[in-house]
Amino acid sequence: MHAGKKYSLKEFILWTRRDIYRLTILAVIPTILYHFCGFTFLSISWVPVALLGTAISFIIGFKNNASYGRLWEARQIYGGIINVSRSFGVMIRDFLSSKNKSQDVQIIFYRHFAWLTALRFQLREPRTWENMNDWRNVEYARNYHIAEKTDKIENVLAKYLSTDELAYILTKKNKATQIMALQSAHINKLAAESNLSDLQLQSLQTGISNFYDNQGKAERIKNFPYPRHFSSIASIMLNLFVFLVPYGLLNDFNKLGNGTLIEGYSIWLNIPFALLLTWVFNTLDVVGESSTNPFEGSANDVPITNISRTIEIDMRDMLDETDLPAAITPENNILL
Amino acid sequence: MHAGKKYSLKEFILWTRRDIYRLTILAVIPTILYHFCGFTFLSISWVPVALLGTAISFIIGFKNNASYGRLWEARQIYGGIINVSRSFGVMIRDFLSSKNKSQDVQIIFYRHFAWLTALRFQLREPRTWENMNDWRNVEYARNYHIAEKTDKIENVLAKYLSTDELAYILTKKNKATQIMALQSAHINKLAAESNLSDLQLQSLQTGISNFYDNQGKAERIKNFPYPRHFSSIASIMLNLFVFLVPYGLLNDFNKLGNGTLIEGYSIWLNIPFALLLTWVFNTLDVVGESSTNPFEGSANDVPITNISRTIEIDMRDMLDETDLPAAITPENNILL
Amino acid sequence: MHAGKKYSLKEFILWTRRDIYRLTILAVIPTILYHFCGFTFLSISWVPVALLGTAISFIIGFKNNASYGRLWEARQIYGGIINVSRSFGVMIRDFLSSKNKSQDVQIIFYRHFAWLTALRFQLREPRTWENMNDWRNVEYARNYHIAEKTDKIENVLAKYLSTDELAYILTKKNKATQIMALQSAHINKLAAESNLSDLQLQSLQTGISNFYDNQGKAERIKNFPYPRHFSSIASIMLNLFVFLVPYGLLNDFNKLGNGTLIEGYSIWLNIPFALLLTWVFNTLDVVGESSTNPFEGSANDVPITNISRTIEIDMRDMLDETDLPAAITPENNILL
Amino acid sequence: MHAGKKYSLKEFILWTRRDIYRLTILAVIPTILYHFCGFTFLSISWVPVALLGTAISFIIGFKNNASYGRLWEARQIYGGIINVSRSFGVMIRDFLSSKNKSQDVQIIFYRHFAWLTALRFQLREPRTWENMNDWRNVEYARNYHIAEKTDKIENVLAKYLSTDELAYILTKKNKATQIMALQSAHINKLAAESNLSDLQLQSLQTGISNFYDNQGKAERIKNFPYPRHFSSIASIMLNLFVFLVPYGLLNDFNKLGNGTLIEGYSIWLNIPFALLLTWVFNTLDVVGESSTNPFEGSANDVPITNISRTIEIDMRDMLDETDLPAAITPENNILL
Amino acid sequence: MHAGKKYSLKEFILWTRRDIYRLTILAVIPTILYHFCGFTFLSISWVPVALLGTAISFIIGFKNNASYGRLWEARQIYGGIINVSRSFGVMIRDFLSSKNKSQDVQIIFYRHFAWLTALRFQLREPRTWENMNDWRNVEYARNYHIAEKTDKIENVLAKYLSTDELAYILTKKNKATQIMALQSAHINKLAAESNLSDLQLQSLQTGISNFYDNQGKAERIKNFPYPRHFSSIASIMLNLFVFLVPYGLLNDFNKLGNGTLIEGYSIWLNIPFALLLTWVFNTLDVVGESSTNPFEGSANDVPITNISRTIEIDMRDMLDETDLPAAITPENNILL
């Protein structure tokens, strides 16, 4: 996520640079044809364009709404993981405190960090429909680095899991799921050895269900894109609209200069104004698009690396550890 | 679901081919009458058409919103089934791990796959209001195959259930419901034989309640269509609108050519422009309509065959089975 | 609910027949006055009418949204009743299976059907604000029959309750509430006799709480109409709008014929066009209105008779009964 | 709430009588200045007014949405209280039925009615931002009476609490909270005396948590108004809009009469039409405003007196009491 | 929050004083250029401005919706803290009432107040994206004082925690989290000493999970701003719009005076009208912006100091303490 005050207009213009080139060309063509070739019949009525504009507002509004909803839900899910981690943490610690089992407590805590790690690596894997290969984002992504792209999962997991468990987990299809299954096996073993009462086991098992819930919800957002037919029709309509706008404005700008010192030249104002209008609609759509996949590694992602670290700090602080890792901070305003 | 980057414009045009024919005819008629028969009084005012256009935008926006909501809820429900399956799986496995009951564990796991199977077959049965008999979808459906249409449920269930249970289940009205009832009977028998504590039974019974919840929610979306009166009035309004648009634009396009090289011919531009405008609104509605029934076997379905397989893989991986089935992958970008 | 493909345009026209008469008269009056009496000053500007039209679109959109929300929530509630009934059913059956209490199981199951019966009769009682006395619905209601209007509740309950309990329940204010209270008393008696463990009692008691929840939610929708002041102002605005539209279009249609073969007669086109426009808005409102009360016995109701029967079938199937009742099917496409 | 079919147009006109006076004056002034003083430059362009009108539609739509949401949530909360009361009622009754504790059952039931009483009195206390001092509502409020304004809380509580408890509760800041705390103390005492098992205590304690939840949610709506800055800017914009409308329409109505028998007089039509348009927008806002505070004692309140009585009837019916109080019925269509 | 009737127009004007200056300048420039320099070609067509205006209405509507949602959710979260505090309070008090542990009860109650304190201090820390450094808010903030800015957290915590615990907590990263962890340790110690049953422990542990949930939700709103790209594009579009409006209105106001006594001067009306229109849109945006961060210490914050005090009063009243602190009341209508 962007953790600063705002994106500047300059950043927006750079980010949509190539869109601006394209939109300019679209505006230049009819203007030249109208002015130099006398194709004045190109100045179609504004009437169908305006209606299309209203429909486009609805469509983009709808898409941005859904997109914001996906981003916000993704953040809620990771917020939920924070909350359950804290509850689960104090329960593990306090249920076992009178049992001389502090080593098990530590193993379970660190295995939890392993789960967080596996989950964030899985969520940051690429999907066909994601936008990180768009030139816009490739370029912008040079401003920050994505830990899950540069680190190796086995190295990170090795900090949290025993060698045996690490080897075991690396053979599994869905690593996060099976790490959590190890947690379940561990607490059941503790219960079978009478270190946990049946009720305590139930409370902890509920915690595990909650983790699975949140993991599954995050995977749902990851694996189920904003429906492609909704997305495609919006693009098609938008492209149609930005194509038509410069034609629809021709007439107005041609007449604008009549009787003034720019008579005969006012038609050229069509270019900046059409560009302005189409750029605004186009950029709105791009903004919406760039939040639909909140785990793709973009500048507008949910900061899951940061959140996972926060959980690790909070939980190790619960055990009164002293060498807590540093919080993850924004790089060029971007927090991942 | 479509698992690629997007539907291409070409796919959209092919998909709405017959709509385009119809809309073209609707645009040609008034243009010919106006131009050749001199029925210039056909050029009705744009004023009522524009107001209708605004209302149509609201109606289609509303319908697409509801449609998206149904699709997304359907995906959430199946996401919920994934999550509860994982929690239920680790509980069954770990509660019984110290009891030498690994065979019961396996029976319950495989009966769960039977439940998933029965459920997906039930959800993919046709309903009167679904759209798979529309020529659009009949044609497109040749790109992929729907397992629930080609496989036989008894053959698939036979892989997961004992012969007795299979015979018993095949006599039942709602097979998924009664398979889950067998799960309940099984865990209660295990509890009566002291293999599960009362609290463990309660936790598992809660799991069964959650499965029933998700099954019932999926059946609700399957059996309760987007209300027919809302849907019908939207169609009627849309048809009215696409009928009126070519009349409303006549005048503007007639005047467009005045004093230019296409004078007298500009009226023909009415046809492509009216087509463009009506096609956009019509396609928006078609897009919305094609998500209202997320279990009909269309290209925009929730991929329940794929999800059921994912659950099977994850759960068999929990038991450390080695011959895991392959994940279901998209065919021509369509994942079912 | 309508269980077919769609309402036809013909059905809509018949259904709104009297509205069409009224709207026609509203359109005829200004046209006649304009044409025959020369009251050309009646052709008010379209400007305030258009703004009113936009506002009306908002208002009707808002109302239809709320109306759809009420219908959908009502269906969710009854979906919830299905789900909890299944969970409650397997729990009752399996908790008591080893206790030789199959008769209690049957009594509780049938008392549950009694609760479903009492609830659906209560929900289909008339309320002042409901629309079943509107001529539209009176007429359409001849296409299907409403079991709760023709059957007698005591006769239906007699199939499910013992004579004593039937007599007791018939003295009560809210019969559904007190039938469910009998369920609670019964399971507590079973627990006091050691046929249910404390935890099993808790699980069942939670089931009863869930039934009360769903009953209460259905009663909330039944007893709390779409707020009358929101509804009334929408009607007033709509009436104002349909009154003004024919005046606003006069001028455009008068000019339409100038220089054509219908010169002097084009004013008459005002009538069909005003009718078209006002009919669309009026019908949209009627469609919304006809879903605000999802338990009134209209063609767009939640099919609670059908759902109650489905639950009965599923639960009796759980007990392996063989003479299951038939499912309730649509009559002239209407499922109640 | 209004429990009838609808508010009549007459009621609306009476209710907004003074608004009509104000809006008329606003329309008369520019008309007179234009006509008699020749200030024709007052006829500003409709263009900025129309844009303002669109923005106003959004703002009022948004406000009415929020307002409806508050009203509906308030009703859901009280619906929740009904549901939990029934569950709690049967649990108390049936858990203690074999313990010869019917007197405790009765004390707890009646203390629950005391809680309902304290809560409804607290919720009907005035707040600065509420609208019951607006002349509109002062006048309309003569049609019905508000029990919480005329009764004394101590007299009503005396029917439900012992003298000691009544005296104790009257010393407390938040009476409802502390009455519920007495319930908790009572059931814990019963559990300590072995009249309730630990699990039964837990179930009842969950009931108390649910009551606190619903009480807190109702207090949240009571104590946190629709944000004053949102509300104030909406008022300011609306006032601006109704001020400008009569100016924006001047020109159209002036030209309307040209060449007709009312030439020179058509300007006067500006007054009724401007009034119509501004009244509609103004009344929409007033309607929204009158639902934002659903516990203020207005005609559009959630009927909490009625609901509290319904709960009392249902619960006393559970105990088979015979002298049940009468249900509270609407007075002049208003149910409180 | 503002606890009065409304913000006055005067307050709004003062609050947006500098915006007014800026918008006036933007309106003056084109008017002067048009009038004195004869740059009449500046009077661009209203057509693109109107479409932009519609899009802006959508964008601001969307933003205000999200902003209201964040504020309302923040209030719900703190409402949730009230509710769970009451439930947790009565449970602690009543579970331990027969155990002679009233001192532990008091320690836990006061530690809860410490948690409330730590939480509100954390939530009122500044964030980069918050608006309290905007001149608007700096100025307005002189009307009230923010306890969390003037008090020292260690002094306030000292009233609620023992010296040891205070010293321990002050070393921790997230103080609220670790105070709640102390609660967990304390109740587990009580349970280990047999002062609480396993079930009672479970109920209390659920309370702690709920507190963590609500804390985490509040932190989520605090730490995850309204996405900066949505916010930035809205600002850019708004600035573009307010820039263009005065140009778009030039022509209409120039013609307005023709043939009247202000002929040649009516162009100056462009300034107040453009200002009016742009001010309205600008202020709408400012209003939305000022609710997106509900814990920043602004006049529109959720009143968390007040709510924390209310909880303290209610809980100490449960213990029948007599020297209850005073409720926190609004200062110049602002309640924090």
Task: Please judge whether A48 and B203 are an interchain contact, meaning their C-beta atoms are less than 8 angstroms apart.
Answer: no
pLDDT given at position E251: 87
Task: Please judge whether E180 and A90 are an interchain contact, meaning their C-beta atoms are less than 8 angstroms apart.
Answer: yes
Give the nearest chain B residue to A182 (CA atoms). Answer: B90
Interchain contact B205–C (C-beta under 8 A): yes
Position C196 pLDDT exceeds 90: yes
Interchain contact C177–D (C-beta under 8 A): yes
Interchain contact B193–A (C-beta under 8 A): no
* DSSP H or E run through B234: helix B228-256
Mean pLDDT along residues D214-238:
95
Query: Which of B71, B94, B313 is the closest to A185 by Cβ?
Result: B94
Residues of chain B with Cβ-Cβ distance to C89 below 8 Å are 181
Tokens of A145: 């680095």
pLDDT given at position C47: 82
Cβ pairs B/C, distance under 8 A: 178
Mean pLDDT along residues D51-58:
87
Position D74 pLDDT exceeds 90: yes
Position A40 pLDDT exceeds 90: no
Cα separation values, E174 from A82, E183, E308, Å? 13, 15, 19
Torsion sign over Cα D331, D335, E4, E5: negative
Cα(C256)–Cα(C268) distance, integer angstroms: 11
pLDDT given at position D265: 87
pLDDT given at position A259: 79
Task: Please judge whether E44 and A269 are an interchain contact, meaning their C-beta atoms are less than 8 angstroms apart.
Answer: yes
Quote the Cα angle for C178-C180-C181, to 5°.
Answer: 60
How many C-beta neighbours within 10 Å does residue D41 have? 21
Task: Please judge whether A280 and E177 are an interchain contact, meaning their C-beta atoms are less than 8 angstroms apart.
Answer: no
Longest dimension (CA), chain D: 96
Q: How confident is the model at residue E57 (pLDDT cuts 50, 70, 90)?
A: confident
pLDDT given at position A262: 82
Chain D touches chain B, with at least 3 Cβ pairs below 8 Å, answer no
Chain E touches chain A, with at least 3 Cβ pairs below 8 Å, answer yes
Query: Which of E58, E212, E227 is the closest to A83 by Cβ?
Result: E212
pLDDT given at position A255: 87
Does residue C89 sit in helix, strand or coil?
A: helix
Task: Please judge whether C86 and B216 are an interchain contact, meaning their C-beta atoms are less than 8 angstroms apart.
Answer: yes
Residue A172 phi, psi dihedral angles, 5° rounding: -95, 155
pLDDT, tens digit, 9 for 90 and up, residues D109-149 = 999 999 999 999 999 999 999 999 888 889 899 999 999 99
Tokens of E136: 């608007």
- B148-167 residues touching A, CB cutoff 8 A: none
pLDDT, tens digit, 9 for 90 and up, residues D272-287 = 999 999 999 999 999 9
Task: Please judge whether E12 and D233 are an interchain contact, meaning their C-beta atoms are less than 8 angstroms apart.
Answer: yes
Q: Which residues pair with B331 in a beta bridge?
A: B334
Give the nearest chain E residue to D174 (CA atoms). Answer: E314
Query: Which of A57, A93, A252 is the closest to E55 by Cβ?
Result: A57
Task: Please judge whether C291 and B188 are an interchain contact, meaning their C-beta atoms are less than 8 angstroms apart.
Answer: no
Interchain contact A291–E (C-beta under 8 A): yes
Tokens of E102: 């009233």
How many C-beta neighbours within 10 Å does residue C33 have? 16
Mean pLDDT along residues E146-163:
96
Q: Which of D232-241 are b and which e, b meaning 16 or more Cβ less than 10 Å from the residue's Cβ?
A: bbbbbbbebb
pLDDT given at position C39: 87
Q: Which residue has the tokens 């608004």?
A: D19
Interchain contact E227–A (C-beta under 8 A): yes
Interchain contact E176–A (C-beta under 8 A): no
Mean pLDDT along residues B140-167:
95
Mean pLDDT along residues C278-301:
93
pLDDT given at position D41: 86
ipTM of the complex, rounded to two decimals? 0.96
C-alpha closest to that of A284 among A6, A2, A100, A19: A19
pLDDT given at position E156: 97
Position E21 pLDDT exceeds 90: yes
Interchain contact D258–E (C-beta under 8 A): no
Neighbours of chain D (3+ CB pairs under 8 A): C, E
pLDDT above 70 as % of chain D: 100
pLDDT given at position B252: 87
pLDDT given at position E265: 87
Task: Please judge whether E236 and A12 are an interchain contact, meaning their C-beta atoms are less than 8 angstroms apart.
Answer: yes
B49-53, B172-176, E254-258, E316-320: segment of lowest average pLDDT? E254-258
Residues of chain D with Cβ-Cβ distance to E82 below 8 Å are 216, 219-220
Q: How confident is the model at residue C119 (pLDDT cuts 50, 70, 90)?
A: very high
Confirm if C160 and C110 have CB atoms less than 8 A apart. Answer: yes
Interchain contact E173–A (C-beta under 8 A): yes
Cα(A81)–Cα(A89) distance, integer angstroms: 12
Position E244 pLDDT exceeds 90: yes
Cα(E188)–Cα(E98) distance, integer angstroms: 18
Cα(B93)–Cα(B87) distance, integer angstroms: 10
Give the CB-side neighbour count of residue E256, counting CA atoms within 13 A: 26
Q: Which residue has the tokens 């401003």?
A: A143
pLDDT given at position C284: 92
Query: Which of B41, B59, B199 is the closest to C257 by Cβ?
Result: B41
Residues of chain C with Cβ-Cβ distance to B77 below 8 Å are none
Q: What is the mean pLDDT of chain C?
A: 94
pLDDT above 90 as % of chain E: 83
Interchain contact C33–D (C-beta under 8 A): no
Interchain contact E90–D (C-beta under 8 A): yes
Position B251 pLDDT exceeds 90: no
Confirm if C183 and C169 have CB atoms less than 8 A apart. Answer: no
pLDDT given at position E55: 86
Interchain contact D313–C (C-beta under 8 A): yes
Give the nearest chain E residue to D184 (CA atoms). Answer: E90
Task: Please judge whether A181 and B257 are an interchain contact, meaning their C-beta atoms are less than 8 angstroms apart.
Answer: no
Residues of chain E with Cβ-Cβ distance to D38 below 8 Å are 260-261
Q: Which residue has the tokens 């809680």?
A: D115
Confirm if A180 and B90 have CB atoms less than 8 A apart. Answer: yes
Give the nearest chain D residue to C220 (CA atoms). Answer: D79
Cβ pairs D/E, distance under 8 A: 179
Interchain contact E209–D (C-beta under 8 A): no
Mean pLDDT along residues D3-18:
92
pLDDT above 70 as % of chain A: 100
Cα(D85)–Cα(D79) distance, integer angstroms: 10
Cβ pairs A/B, distance under 8 A: 181
Quote the Cα angle for D93-D99-D105, to 5°.
Answer: 35
Task: Please judge whether C257 and B205 are an interchain contact, meaning their C-beta atoms are less than 8 angstroms apart.
Answer: no
Identify the residue with better confidence: A107 or D48: A107
- C292-311 residues touching B, CB cutoff 8 A: 300, 302
pLDDT given at position C193: 94
Q: A261: distance to nearest CA of chain B, Å?
A: 25
Cα separation values, B110 from B206, B208, B319, Å? 19, 15, 11
pLDDT given at position A206: 97
Task: Name residues whose C-beta falls within 8 Å of residue E125's C-beta, 6 or more positions apart in sequence.
Answer: none
